[in-house]
Amino acid sequence: MTSSYRINYQLRAHKRDPLIEFIKGLLLTPFVLHAKPRKPVLTPSDARGGSQQGPEAGNGDEDNNDYQEEEKPMVDANLQRYLEIMKSVEAMIEEHRRKVRKGVPEHSRLHRIVPSVASFFTPLPLEAAFLNANAKHSIAARRFVPPSFNDIRRILNTAQVMAIAPTLKLITFDGDMTLYDDGTCFTETSSLIPLLITLIRAGLNVAIVTAAGYPGDASKYEERLGGLLRSFRNHKLSEKQLERFYVLGGECNYLFRCGWKKGGATEEGVVGLTYIVPEMYQPADMLAWKSEDIQELLDVAEENLRRCVSNMNLKTTVLRKLRAVGIVPLEGAKIAREQLDECVLSTQQRLLEYQQMSGPSKVAIPFCVFNGGSDVFVDIGNKLIGVQVLQSYLGTAPDATVHVGDQFLSTGNDFATRSSCCTLWIVSPEETEGVLKELTPLLTFPSETE
């Protein structure tokens, strides 16, 4: 049973998405006002007890028949009201896009209502997406469960897939809980593999943008993605096709390209990853980050994380890397989500204060503090920079890029990508499979098979 404590925790600002909450509030109106309750059914015991019979009362069968006659018109009418609302939100988003192009996003009606609203790089056909969701989840027919956060999140995903499919050139994925379960590896039995291969064969660039950071070490990523890379080989993808698959680790710090390599004692050809040196793809301002400044920022982050561990008596170990620092639970220990979020929000605040106190003479190095579900990490850079780096390297625009991830709350590391590309918010590898099954039939494939 869901406790009131859990419900209240989900109402905290860092656990809510303002746009989704706004749309959910709008859809409550037709649900409350127009989803009519069933007529009461008179049972035989009621009749024997001498219940009062009004002009609209009758036996149970008659009431059931009346209800069946009224049910479909009620559902159709409610669906129409939902569609009217989604069409209105669709128009508000389009108006916001026009204001953004004119350089005055704050003048849009949507911005006034939802001040934190992000950019929209494509239109969103919400009316069509709602019809799709209603066919799957019978939203308009529900009488006791109103449109939920997850209903709206999925509707937004479907609308984004419909809008971006004709222009899509680059699709990026988070790793854990997006392509595979948390802390596991990509296995050959994954149902996502045929879908990812379809994306590559459709001419798209496909990249995994992950927090996992192994400086220049392709073997670590090859181990995590072993099942996928072996499947690329088994499906005989060409060298040109393989070169459209990338891995960007440490949020934005370590880029690898897929391709054929010689491996093992037999020198047999295998599909692997090749490290691309930073000078090949990183912009000048990123290359200018000084090592001593990076380590100083990580020192401040580590100090704050250790303070959190001490104050809350957490059973963790501190893990320091070249461009990251974090806390991970000891074997058999578990950190509560509230404690994880406390570590994230506290460290975010401490690092912002540190950068403000540093003055204008020191470059403020971008960072990302995020709740990984079971751990907390501070990374140098973030996925916003990661996606932008790939867009620049591959020559792809924001309206032709989509990022798929599960961490779009303010304590997650996918959140920042909203500023640089379209996004799909999923909660599991199964949902990733669902959105890719919606996307792949809409893609245009090259006329010649490579």
What pLDDT is stored for residue 72 in this prediction?
64
What pLDDT is stored for residue 358 in this prediction?
80
What pLDDT is stored for residue 10 in this prediction?
44
Under 8 Å between Cβ of 360 and 292 = no
The rounded average pLDDT for each run of 10 residues, N- to C-terminus, in the chain (450 residues) is 43 70 93 65 54 50 53 76 96 97 96 93 97 94 91 97 97 93 89 97 96 89 94 94 96 95 68 95 94 95 97 96 95 93 95 87 87 92 95 97 90 87 96 97 75
What pLDDT is stored for residue 16 in this prediction?
75
SS3 424: strand
Residues forming the active site: 174, 176
Give every CB contact of residue 230 below 8 A, 6+ residues apart in sequence: 188, 271
What pLDDT is stored for residue 407 in this prediction?
84
Give every CB contact of residue 217 below 8 A, 6+ residues apart in sequence: none
Nearest-10 crossing angle of helices 193-201, 226-234: 60
Under 8 Å between Cβ of 203 and 446 = yes
What pLDDT is stored for residue 35 in this prediction?
61
Give every CB contact of residue 381 below 8 A, 6+ residues apart in sequence: 250, 251, 252, 253, 286, 323, 366, 367, 368
SS3 91: helix
Report the candidate in 31, 65, 64 with the shortest Cα–Cα distance to residue 141.
31
| Strand arrangement, sheet containing 316-320 | 316-320, 324-329, 376-380, 367-371
pTM given for the model: 0.86
Domain boundaries, the chain: 14-44+59-164
What pLDDT is stored for residue 9 in this prediction?
42
What pLDDT is stored for residue 445 in this prediction?
84
What pLDDT is stored for residue 135 in this prediction?
94
Give every CB contact of residue 244 below 8 A, 6+ residues apart in sequence: 200, 203, 204, 205, 206, 258
Give every CB contact of residue 390 below 8 A, 6+ residues apart in sequence: 170, 172, 205, 207, 209, 246, 248, 396, 401
What pLDDT is stored for residue 409 in this prediction?
83
